[in-house]
């Protein structure tokens, strides 16, 4: 598989433990869908004081991260075969994972940068609204199903974290000392363009068989989300990199604020 070869050749997994030992990295986690019990499993490699956590439909395992964990986390159901890790089989980590930020929080972060792949909208309606009154094709229905499975988790999780942060700030100081809750600061970077629309414009670059399967029950425009999951064409990937850099620079001040550790000492943080 080309992706496995690329990951194997370019990712030096041995450096993970070296960075942890040097104190430059606290930990790294990769989440995947466990087909045996239909739950999310987070594989993590990190500092010795990180505890294994178990929650409803979400559990963790301390291990040495390798190429199989990355492949499992990216194996989109139906489009790619399940990946064997240990004695189990796993698929894409977005499926059934409504709290994608939780592994970082369980591992002890007090701030993080979230990078989304869907253009942010003011309202749910403004993102999905379409003037097309025709009944949706099978391709469109599959497109919506994959969209909801793969992309909704991060937005809902960040909304919950923001609400919890607001509640923590409302606590009296003595209540904060008694409570285990803590505010977790974050910066959310999302694309300024619709990646799915951009991908649909380059649908002709897909392999003939894939293009045939997608258009057999609809059109490439209706399968835009599916196309964005499958398109690895160089010019498209380069555009995504350029868009990501531009969008990141737009939030440069917020990122620098988040990374400013001098504020910790002023606030008495450890």
- Closest Cα partner for 27 from 128, 129, 138, 107? 107
Task: Give 134-184 pLDDT, tens digit per residue.
Answer: 777 777 777 777 777 666 678 888 889 998 888 888 775 556 556 667 789
Q: What percent of the chain has pLDDT over 90?
A: 44
- What is residue 151's predicted lDDT score, i.e. its pLDDT? 65
Q: What is the pLDDT of residues 247-269, one digit of tens each?
A: 999 999 999 999 987 655 444 44
Arithmetic mean of pLDDT over the chain: 83
Please tell me which residue, 235 or 269, carries the higher pLDDT value. Answer: 235
- Give the mean model confidence (pLDDT) for residues 7-25: 94
More confident residue, 220 or 74: 74
Give the per-residue pLDDT at 174.
Answer: 57
Q: Give the mean pLDDT of 10-21.
A: 95
Q: Which residue has the higher pLDDT, 223 or 32?
A: 32
pTM, rounded to two decimals? 0.80
Q: What is the per-residue pLDDT for 229?
A: 78
Output the pLDDT for position 125: 45
Instruction: Report, as an integer, the average pLDDT of 21-49.
Output: 94
């Amino acid at each position: 598989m080309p992706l496995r070869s690329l990951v194997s050749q370019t990712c030096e997994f041995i450096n993970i433990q070296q960075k942890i030992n040097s104190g430059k990295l606290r930990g790294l986690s990769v989440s995947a869908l466990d087909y045996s019990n239909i739950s999310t499993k987070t594989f993590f490699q990190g500092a010795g004081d990180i505890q294994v956590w178990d929650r409803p439909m979400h559990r963790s395992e301390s291990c040495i991260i390798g190429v199989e964990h990355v492949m499992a986390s990216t194996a989109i159901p139906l489009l790619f075969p399940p990946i064997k890790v240990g004695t189990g089989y796993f698929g894409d980590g977005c499926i059934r994972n409504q709290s994608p930020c939780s592994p970082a929080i369980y591992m002890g972060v007090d701030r993080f940068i979230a990078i989304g792949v869907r253009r942010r909208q003011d309202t749910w309606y403004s993102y999905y609204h379409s003037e097309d009154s025709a009944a949706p094709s099978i391709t469109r229905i599959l497109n919506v199903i994959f969209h909801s499975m793969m992309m909704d988790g991060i937005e809902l999780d960040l909304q919950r974290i923001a609400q919890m942060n607001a509640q923590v700030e409302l606590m009296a100081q003595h209540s904060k000392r008694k409570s285990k809750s803590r505010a977790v600061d974050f910066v959310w970077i999302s694309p300024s363009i619709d990646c799915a629309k951009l991908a649909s414009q380059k649908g002709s670059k897909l392999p003939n068989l894939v293009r045939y399967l997608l258009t057999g029950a609809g059109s490439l425009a209706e399968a835009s989300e599916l196309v964005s999951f499958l398109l690895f064409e160089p010019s498209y990937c380069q555009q995504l990199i350029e868009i990501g850099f531009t969008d990141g620079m737009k939030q440069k001040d917020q990122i620098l604020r988040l990374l400013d550790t001098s504020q910790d000492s002023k606030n008495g943080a450890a």
